[in-house]
Structure 1
Amino acid sequence: MPVNDEVRTSESVRDKFSVDGKTAVVTGASSGIGRAIAETFAADGADVVICSRTRDDVEAVAEELNGADVDGSVLPVECDVTDRDDVEALAEATAEEFDGADVLVNNAGGAGPGGTLDEVGEDDWNGVIQVNLTGVYNATHAFAGQLRDGGGEVVNTSSMAGRYGVAGMGPYSAAKAGVSALTRTLATEWADDDVRVNAVEPGFIATPPVREMFGLDEIPDRDGAGRRVGSPHEVADTVRFLASDAASFVTGQTIAPTGPPNTFQPPEN
């Protein structure tokens, strides 16, 4: 006896893996992983609100995507996720333009200066925690009403550094571990509101800082499972899955786009 007598067509299955028709907010979207997420969502047919601290950078991304052959539209907003007023204004702009958000991607972050924990000054510590962890709280708090009104999805960008802890990256490791823990907590708290909350823990991804750090001339292609460096769009594809209806029974989880299992060891140059 079949589990379900409804015959699923290949088209209906494919549709579940799409974010077409959703409105998504992506923080930290001027470059790297955030920009790739915005590109992927807009190409799928989602309307995307993108933000960064620098207006010119985020407006350039929006202009390029709105001028491309994509089905979704892109709205740029200048926003510092560590500033509560900025984040509230971002939520208001989203509601005014698109009648609210269906998906929130908390991607804004940064590693900050390196050094052993005893070398890290209080200002550096606070800055890294603010942008990586408090920024997630600020944005999630500001969009809570929109997301819980009819259900929605939250996808947070954590890091493998948060899973393992990395020497010389104490504040960043701690902040990203907090993001992963916050993801599990919020998934439990908002489950009855039909809001799914998940995270991604990327390994080494060919963002501009990583490419500069390891002397990578170009973004690696997708050939080969043994790669130690991935592309931003490979992370974006994981985020799209988590934000789509195909992940309807996935919440409180952290997926790690890393290639082979590793402990966040730098790839060889």
Structure 2
Amino acid sequence: MHPLLSFISYDSSPTVLGVSTILCGVLLYIVSKMLGFGSRNQFVVEGRTAVITGGSEGMGKAVACQLAEMGANVVIVARTTSKLLAAIETMKRVADNVERQKFHYISADLTDPAECQRIMSEVTEWNDGQEPDIVWCCAGYCHPGFFTETSIQALRNQMDTVYWTAANTAHAILQRWLTPISPSKQAPIPTRHLIFTCSTLAFVPIAGYAPYSPAKAAIRSLSDTLSQEIEIYNGSRTSKARCEAPAADVKIHTVFPMGILSPGFDNEQKLKPALTKQLEEADKPQSPQEVASIAISALERGEYLITTMFIGDIMKGSALGPSPRNSIIRDTLTSWLSNLVFPGVIYDLRRKAWKWGVKHGLPTNPDGN
């Protein structure tokens, strides 16, 4: 969802932002794209092993299939075995070399930390005793609704299925990846990647997502924290004393898509308050395949916080704070543009919510759902 588009197209906002500012910002953005990362691929997947949680449908399945096309060995994790089996067959059809690659599925409840430990143990055994090289957290679903109209149990379920599935998975794999080994056993191993899937709602909250947005914001905060902590372990690998250290460097990444067309999105639309739909009416959801492709390309460029469209970049620019930048030039320019746009966006969102209350009354009224 991007209310920013709705705001920019809103007729009564000429005093907030001139057309010339928008055009200049877009031009600066395009130019800065040209000054980004070099051509070296920083996310080589051919012959490596990836674990995708939430890999039976939606974005997770799209990621799994595209990594299979690129030559990776892929393990998908979800609860429903029938969906996992169907996804495995799809991966085999699109695989780069089905005779050389391996595919596996694990049915598990990721809200249970013991299950996440089991997954990593099973994958390591299946992978000839080697830990996976890539772990991509895509599990979770959105239960929209107004805060006071949502049960405490539903609020807890959102934190469990969105934040804790990712945190449990990250904890399980990082404990393995960061286990120190002696210098005599250390050998060159390509960088390992832990990837979270978040949402632009972590940058710009919207009324009607109170059960969901805090969990996504927690993932973003966890990602920022881990991106600092991981440098302790990466630094230990270059110690002149040649002390015990992890087997490989680790990089943390987080993807921030907007709406994604999927079965989960269809269910979300049935629950979504009418006000929320109005606030994000300009949103044009992307296909899972498009989101996966954009995210993988950004990983190949070595990006940390990854958005999947221009409006998402502007949202990110409004909330970068202490997060590491993908590109100092590009992110600085985007942040400047965001600072011009968002005072008006914030006002517009609040005004629309107020006007909705004037017209429909409380959320519990039939017309004000």
Q: TM range, normalised to the smaller chain?
A: 0.7 to 0.9
Alpha-carbon distance in structure 2 between the residues aligned to 1:39 and 1:235: 13
TM-superposed CA distance for 1:19, in Å, is 1.5
Aligned-residue RMSD, C-alpha: 2.6
Alignment partner for residue 115 of structure 2, among 80, 86, 93? 86
Q: Does 1:202 align with 2:253?
A: no
Q: Does 1:254 align with 2:285?
A: no
CA contact (8 A) 1:107 1:156 kept: yes
Q: Does 1:25 align with 2:51?
A: yes
Q: Does 1:119 align with 2:149?
A: yes
CA contact (8 A) 1:103 1:147 kept: no
Q: Secondary structure at the match of 1:170?
A: coil
With over 3 angstroms needed to count, the CA separation of the structure-2 counterparts of 1:204 and 1:143, relative to structure 1, is: same
Identical-residue share of aligned pairs (%): 26
CA contact (8 A) 2:50 2:135 kept: yes
Alpha-carbon distance in structure 2 between the residues aligned to 1:35 and 1:186: 26
Q: Deviations over 1:210-241 (max 9, x none)?
A: 357779xxxxxxxxxx9822221222123324
Alignment partner for residue 290 of structure 2, among 202, 222, 234? 234
Q: Secondary structure at the match of 1:203?
A: coil
CA contact (8 A) 2:71 2:95 kept: no
With over 3 angstroms needed to count, the CA separation of the structure-2 counterparts of 1:22 and 1:52, relative to structure 1, is: same
TM-superposed CA distance for 1:16, in Å, is 5.0
CA contact (8 A) 1:25 1:49 kept: yes
TM-superposed CA distance for 1:59, in Å, is 1.6
Higher relative contact order (CA 8 A, sep 6+): 2
With over 3 angstroms needed to count, the CA separation of the structure-2 counterparts of 1:127 and 1:238, relative to structure 1, is: same
Deviates more, 1:127-136 or 1:83-92: 83-92
TM-superposed CA distance for 1:18, in Å, is 3.9
TM-superposed CA distance for 1:187, in Å, is 1.0
- In structure 2, what is the equivalent of residue 169 of structure 1? 209
With over 3 angstroms needed to count, the CA separation of the structure-2 counterparts of 1:238 and 1:197, relative to structure 1, is: farther
Q: Does 1:189 align with 2:229?
A: yes
Deviates more, 1:63-72 or 1:16-25: 63-72
Paired residue type of 1:142 = A
Alpha-carbon distance in structure 2 between the residues aligned to 1:185 and 1:210: 29
Alpha-carbon distance in structure 2 between the residues aligned to 1:214 and 1:136: 24
TM-score (norm 2): 0.59
Alignment partner for residue 107 of structure 1, among 135, 138, 159? 138
Q: Secondary structure at the match of 1:260?
A: helix
Alpha-carbon distance in structure 2 between the residues aligned to 1:26 and 1:232: 14
Q: Does 1:61 align with 2:87?
A: yes
TM-score (norm 1): 0.79
Q: Secondary structure at the match of 2:156?
A: helix
Q: Secondary structure at the match of 1:171?
A: coil
- In structure 1, what is the equivalent of residue 28 of structure 2? none
Q: Deviations over 1:64-114 (max 9, x none)?
A: 3224443333211101110122211110111011121111101101112x3
- In structure 1, what is the equivalent of residue 328 of structure 2? none
Deviates more, 1:179-188 or 1:79-88: 79-88
Alpha-carbon distance in structure 1 between the residues aligned to 2:267 and 2:161: 22
Paired residue type of 2:212 = Y
TM-superposed CA distance for 1:115, in Å, is 2.0
**Is the radius of gyration larger for structure 1 or structure 2?**
2
TM-superposed CA distance for 1:209, in Å, is 3.6
Q: Deviations over 1:143-171 (max 9, x none)?
A: 11443365411110000122111211112
- In structure 1, what is the equivalent of residue 104 of structure 2? 75
Alpha-carbon distance in structure 1 between the residues aligned to 2:269 and 2:145: 18
Q: Deviations over 1:2-27 (max 9, x none)?
A: xxxxxxxxxxx576554212211100
Alpha-carbon distance in structure 1 between the residues aligned to 2:299 and 2:105: 20
TM-superposed CA distance for 1:131, in Å, is 1.0
With over 3 angstroms needed to count, the CA separation of the structure-2 counterparts of 1:243 and 1:104, relative to structure 1, is: farther
CA contact (8 A) 1:102 1:152 kept: yes
Alpha-carbon distance in structure 2 between the residues aligned to 1:200 and 1:146: 23
With over 3 angstroms needed to count, the CA separation of the structure-2 counterparts of 1:69 and 1:134, relative to structure 1, is: closer
Alpha-carbon distance in structure 1 between the residues aligned to 2:266 and 2:151: 27
Paired residue type of 1:25 = V
Q: Deviations over 1:223-264 (max 9, x none)?
A: xxx9822221222123324554x41xx4xx321113435769
Paired residue total = 237
Alpha-carbon distance in structure 2 between the residues aligned to 1:44 and 1:109: 25
Alpha-carbon distance in structure 1 between the residues aligned to 2:201 and 2:290: 18
